[in-house]
Structure 1
Amino acid sequence: MLQTMTSNESYIFLAVFAALALVALIYLLSPMRLPDEPLLYLIGVNHAMQFKSAVSQLFSESESVRKKREAFKAHVAEMIDTLDIEVLAEEFSEESKRKPQARETAVDDQSEHARFETAVAQCNYETVLEQFSKAKGIEHRFCDPDTKEREALGIEVDPKKETESDWRKREQVWLSRMADCKLRRVLFVCGDNHYDAFAQLLESNGFNVQRGAHYDISDEEFHDNADNVIETHEHKGDFKEW
């Protein structure tokens, strides 16, 4: 009788063990499982990917830029889910989302100017990452210093006059604003010109960097339908040099 009970208990034990093993296997293979370790997933872009300017919203932009921004959005959405991202951070600032001035678009007539101002007020002034942050309830951070902060830190304010030394100083600011995220899962977007240097800076400061996709735009792509594009600083390459 004792031997029979022992056998039954063995069968029960094996059944429970097999069930637990199956559950563990399903968990490991599931795309919804939580990743095991913190990381920072880095994406390099032309800044036109991050933010569609008011001028582009009001008038037009090249088809290449539009398609690449859509591809960028799709990739960010995929990585948020795949990597279980907790923080969305970017090389951008509130100041960078400035409203365009009428003089930039050759709007001189008073009535046209009034309509322009009304239209500008109705534009979307959120970056792509801000939109994802609100839609998915994920923390968002702007990491680039604004004009006052740059002046205080001795960083060139005019993007056209910036040197690589200024870039390195700005990258140190980004690092300082992410210092508390070494144990979290972060998606960070920066200008492609900063990609390698910033990745190395992060790694040397203890971040587990996963190097991701690049979304650059050539001058030709900016103007692939030039007849319909309003010539402002956004479309003349300044976005590319941050």
Structure 2
Amino acid sequence: MLQTMTSNESYIFLAVFAALALVALIYLLSPMRLPDEPLLYLIGVNHAVQFKSAVSQLFSELESVRKKREAFKAHVAEMIDTLDIEVLAEEFSEESKRKPQARETAVDDQSEHARFETAVAQCNYETVLEQFSKAKGIEHRFCDPDTKEPEALGIEVDPKKETKSDWRKREQVWLSRIADCKLRRVLFVCGDNHYDAFAQLLESHGFNVQRGAHYDISDEEFHDNADNVIETHEGCRKKQLWLPVNFLT
């Protein structure tokens, strides 16, 4: 009887040992790191999910775009808590979200002008990461150069003339903005076109990069959304209101 009990205990011991070994193996193979280990969690996006433009707030946008932004928000919230994020950084600038201006209108159209100004003033001009920064008390950094910097850095300012060489220069600027964060836990959001190159740049400069999710918008979605914007823009022009390009993106 004593021998049988000893044998059963041995089986239990082996089972517990095997379970612990399995847990250890899963941990070692997991892409997640310990929350207190320095890392940079990188997310690639279409900028429409990163920042909801004023025109999308005042008028309408595609449901698919709205859902992707909500999914992006939920993922950021999850990663902030899971990875104990200390710094929220992004490819964006304060200037990129500046408020649109209305052109001087005819005397008999002052009421429309006033309504436009009131509506614009009520829009939210914070990026998704800014909103989380304020809500959770986490440091936030814009990393894209403002309009005064590109010329000095030799970066083409016209998007239509911009080359991949200009992209690499911009990525170097982003790197410089977070160069002091190698020993911190950072969540960084950049345009999906920069994702792989920027991840490699970060790794080559000693960052512990964890490659995260992508939130892209298909060409079809982009053009459908643009069609809505154009229709909105045409309607505003008929009322003698001018919406600049940055208001539409």
TM-score where L is the length of structure 1: 0.78
**What's 1:220 paired with?**
220
Supply the distance in 1 between the matched residues of 2:157 and 2:60 (Cα, whole angstroms).
Answer: 28
SS in structure 1 at match of 2:148: helix
C-alpha distance 5-176 of structure 1, shift in aligned 2 (>3 A):
same
Structure 1 stretch 106-115 or stretch 173-182: which is displaced more? 106-115
Aligned equivalents of 1:24 and 1:56: distance in 2?
48
Question: For structure 2, which runs of at least 5 residues remain unmatched after alignment?
Answer: 235-245
TM-score normalised by structure 2 residue count: 0.76
1:62–1:229 CA contact under 8 A, matched in 2 = no
- Give RMSD over aligned pairs: 5.4
CA deviations 1:136-156 (Å, max 9, x no partner) are 010000000011011221111
Deviations, residues 41-73 of structure 1 (Å, cap 9, x unaligned): 000000011110111101111111101000000
Give 1:102 deviation, angstroms. Answer: 3.6
Write the mapping of 1:107-146 to structure 2, written as runs, cut at 5 A: 109-146=109-146
Per-residue deviation, 1:103: 6.2
Residues 204, 31 of structure 1: alpha-carbon distance in 2 compared, 3 angstrom cutoff:
closer
Change over 3 Å in CA distance of 1:148–1:231 after alignment to 2 = farther
Shift of 1:15: 22
Secondary structure of 2:107's aligned partner:
coil
Could you report, residue by residue, the CA deviation over 1:53-97 in whole angstroms, capped at 9, with x for unpaired residues?
111101111111101000000000000001110000000000000
Is the Cα contact below 8 Å between 1:91 and 1:174 reproduced in 2?
yes
> In structure 2, do the counterparts of structure 1 residues 23 and 52 end up closer, same or farther at CA, with 3 Å as the change threshold?
closer
Instruction: Give the C-alpha shift of residue 109 in structure 1.
Output: 3.9
Bigger Cα displacement from structure 2, 130-139 vs 218-227: 218-227
Residues 61 and 103 of structure 1: CA distance in aligned 2, closer, same or farther (over 3 Å): farther
Distance 1:106 1:211 in 2: 53
Over 3 Å counting, the alpha-carbon distance change for 1:233 and 1:214 in structure 2 is: farther
8 A contact 1:85–1:186 mirrored in 2 = yes
Report deviation, 1:104. 13
Is the contact between residue 46 and residue 239 of structure 1 (CA under 8 Å) also seen in structure 2? Answer: no
> What secondary structure sits across from 1:37 in the alignment?
coil
Tell whether the 8 Å contact from 1:223 to 1:229 is kept in structure 2 after alignment. no
Which segment drifts farther, 60-69 or 12-21? 12-21
User: For residues 149 and 111 of structure 1, do their structure 2 counterparts lie closer, same or farther at Cα, with a shift above 3 Å needed?
Assistant: same
Contact kept in structure 2, 1:64 and 1:222, CA below 8 Å: no
Percent identity over the alignment is 96
Moved more, 204-213 or 159-168: 159-168
Aligned counterparts of 2:82 and 2:29: Cα–Cα separation in 1: 13
Task: Assess if the C-alpha contact under 8 Å between 1:48 and 1:239 holds in 2.
Answer: no
